[in-house]
A and B are shown apart, each in its own frame.
Chain A
């Protein structure tokens, strides 16, 4: 069964690339445009992995991550945070709030795909 990936980002220009990429890799993909939608889609779509942008309207990636980790039902969900903020302090915050990986823009798509696959246990 194909793994499901949810992309949460408010910038269409990155969503289009990520969506294309993940579909090419054979994942089932859903997209959320803001923090609240992301939370709703996690509940409804039940993804295996969430690509989560930090800077989003309504709820920031940090808030979404915190909310998800507060609920044990999502314990198995892998969270990869994507951000345009490169400071070490923010990386530390993301990981502390429960993200499994933290990727800083601009990133290499190949590396991202490799990371997603390894996190989902696909070699």
Chain B
């Protein structure tokens, strides 16, 4: 029953209570009276009836007034309070009940407010704890990622579907080096978060390795598996796999494998070296057998039959002569061909020569208090060295010089001469005898209390190098020259472009992908925040593809799990095979010289297609870019069939009342900081940022899934305009 109805009933009851007892009493008295008494009473009453009625009505009105006031204060006041409490429960935690009404209601309100306060404190505490826990997990992840990125091995972590959850910089460089083809990212060596590792490694081999691991686990052996695989480009990779296991649910229960860690090593080069070594061995053993056999037989005959005829003897001698000559020749040939492969197998690292010099300088200054300087230094020189023994040797020489010739300063010089690096230790004055140097070369080295059984000669030989003493007569000084083999570092350092883009911690991992579901075709009912996107932009010679305007640049970035991956980019200039329009050059900043010699669109498009496989495409004013792509699909033999989102339309959905939905305007409206614009890569980065900001705004409008976003886009005013 509603409060209003109850109020009406209460009023009726009040009325009945005020009139009822009088009427009933009067009726009972009336019935008891005689006729004369009744007439007398009627006469008495009738004359005073108006005043009685007036009193009753007055009393009733006062009663209703009191009732109304009570109703307002207790019933309606409590109803209001309950509403307020509901609001505190759901919408606004910080809301409080207003203190008014009678004291009892106020007390209730105060108690409710105290309860709410207590609840808020608890909630805040829980939130704080969650935040702390999150932060520590995040920190651990960051630490792990930082650790990984410093590793010299290429590491890739995948979930069971082969999706990449983490990779380090080394892996990126290694796979980049594997890439072939005309464009910077083509060649089937695409590494990226959420991408499939099977574009790089053979799926069957990975599956087999996982089976091996499961078996080993079942047998209580260490869970690890190795395999060697060949890439499409013919490189040999040695892969080691270790499983990632879920935490055990209960003791003794088997832990499920949720993914695996791969360490990948490109062994193409070492295998080649191995093969060359084999060849040397072979040519020195098998190759010598025949000659040696001929020699031995001839010589034995000569010895066993000293009385043979002169002519025959001469023939045997000739055999000996010929075969001995042949063997010497083979030996020389082998040494010439394989000298590199025959070097000692002391583990030498590729190091920057200036790093060695810097280490030696520090050592000399610390241990000997001997000032040092550098002269001409080739700072791009890599050498193969065991840095510890090499630095020790230099410091040892410095100590000897200080001790014997009291030198006051040592200088370092570094230069390159063909396949060798010259590392010079220079000092002023004092010629030294070759005997002294010989002693220094052959004695076990020692330096300020540290000793080593190695001699200077040992160190030099380990490096496959040489050392000598030389004078610069004109300058009155002398130097020791270390000759060391130059190394070609396997992986070039990160290019400048990458460095500029990779500010802060690189986004090489995403552990949320452990929960990522394998789904090669894009599910339209997935949430926008859960999808993988390729955000791209093109620069073109003009605005009209139908009259021959062409693409001259494609830039693209990836968004995985709501994160913009600045390291995983596509950036390719395209030769349009026609001159650029002079008026367009200031817009995109691309000149004829830049595009000439670049791959043509029929080569670039397949690479781009591979880059954006299985992802939703996003572009600003996508219809424009898509038309250019579609016109080239047939020539390139690819089709872009995936869903396409347009940030222009999505912005119009999110802010229907704004006038401009140009990229610049949106970037400003959403408070996005962009440094440069108007080249395809930077614009695609800006578009990606815009999209990430739009996702929560769209969610406010009830647009959660891809399907909803596509439908909403279609309905906007802008979508109806033909481009």
Contact = CB atoms under 8 A, between A and B. Distances in A.
State yes or no: do A and B come from one complex: yes
B300 to A, nearest CB: 4
A110 B300 contact: yes
B286 A106 contact: no
Interface residues of B, number: 22
B294 interface: yes
Interface stretch (A15-23, A28-36, A42-50): A15-23
B312 interface: yes
B289 A84 contact: yes
Nearest to A112: B297
Contacts of A86: 285-286, 289
Nearest to B302: A17
A72 interface: no
Tell which of B294, B296, B322 has the most Cβ of chain A within 10 Å.
B294
Contacts of A16: 298, 315-316, 319
B292 interface: yes
A60 to B, nearest CB: 14
Given A20-B312, A86-B289, A109 B322 contact: no
Interface in A70-88: 82, 84-86
Contacts of B298: 13, 16-17
B423 interface: no
A13 B300 contact: no
B294 A13 contact: yes
B296 A109 contact: yes
The number of chain A residues touching the other chain, given as a range, is: 20 to 34
Contacts of A108: 296, 300
Contacts of A55: 290
A14 B297 CA distance: 7
Interface string B267-297: 0000000000000000001100110111111
Contacts of B613: none
Contacts of A82: 293
Contact of A109 (B289, B301, B312, B319): B301
B22 interface: no
Given A108-B296, A109-B301, A11 B290 contact: yes
B315 to A, nearest CB: 6
B290 A109 contact: no
Contacts of A13: 294, 298, 319, 322-323
A14 B320 CA distance: 11
A101 to B, nearest CB: 15
Nearest to A105: B293
Contacts of B295: 106
Tell which of A17, A18, A85 has the most Cβ of chain B within 10 Å.
A17
Contacts of B297: 14, 17-18, 21, 106-107, 109
A84 B289 CA distance: 5
B305 interface: yes
A17 B289 contact: no
Contacts of A105: 289-290, 292-294
A84 B301 contact: no
A21 B316 CA distance: 12
Contact of B286 (A11, A18, A85): A85
Given A85-B286, A86-B286, A14 B294 contact: yes
A106 B315 contact: no
Contacts of B323: 13
Contacts of A107: 293, 296-297
A110 B301 CA distance: 10
Contacts of B322: 13
Contacts of B300: 17, 108-110
A55 to B, nearest CB: 8
Interface in B296-319: 296-298, 300-301, 304-305, 308, 312, 315-316, 319
Contacts of B285: 86
B301 A106 contact: no
B405 to A, nearest CB: 57
B316 A84 contact: no
Nearest to A107: B293
A84 B296 contact: no
B678 to A, nearest CB: 68
Interface in B309-365: 312, 315-316, 319, 322-323
A75 B297 CA distance: 29
Interface string A86-118: 100000000000000000111111100000000
A14 B289 CA distance: 12
Contacts of A18: 297
B301 A20 contact: yes
B312 A106 contact: no
A14 B285 CA distance: 18
A106 B305 contact: no
Nearest to A12: B319
A16 B316 CA distance: 8
B140 to A, nearest CB: 54
B316 A106 contact: no
A24 B305 contact: yes
Contacts of A11: 290, 294
B315 A84 contact: no
Nearest to A24: B305
Contacts of A106: 289, 292-297
B289 A104 contact: yes
Contacts of B286: 84-86
B557 to A, nearest CB: 56
Tell which of A11, A16, A24, A82 has the most Cβ of chain B within 10 Å.
A16
A46 B382 CA distance: 69
A79 B592 CA distance: 77
Nearest to B293: A105
Contacts of A109: 296-297, 300-301, 304
A108 B301 CA distance: 11
Interface string A37-64: 0000000000000000001000000000
A84 B300 CA distance: 18
A107 B296 CA distance: 7
Tell which of A11, A82, A109 has the most Cβ of chain B within 10 Å.
A109
Nearest to A104: B289
A86 B319 CA distance: 22
Nearest to B290: A84
A82 B319 CA distance: 18
A56 B225 CA distance: 45
B163 to A, nearest CB: 45
A13 B326 CA distance: 12
Contacts of A24: 305
Given A84-B286, A86-B285, A14 B293 contact: yes
Interface of B: 285-286, 289-290, 292-298, 300-301, 304-305, 308, 312, 315-316, 319, 322-323
- For the complex of A and B, the 5 pairs showing the least CB-CB separation, nearest first, are A105-B293, A17-B297, A84-B289, A106-B293, A84-B290
20 contacts: A11-B290, A13-B294, A14-B290, A14-B294, A14-B297, A16-B298, A17-B316, A20-B301, A20-B305, A20-B312, A84-B286, A86-B286, A105-B290, A105-B292, A106-B293, A106-B295, A107-B293, A108-B300, A109-B297, A109-B304
Given A20-B312, A108-B300, 6 more contacts: A11-B290, A13-B319, A17-B300, A17-B301, A105-B292, A109-B301
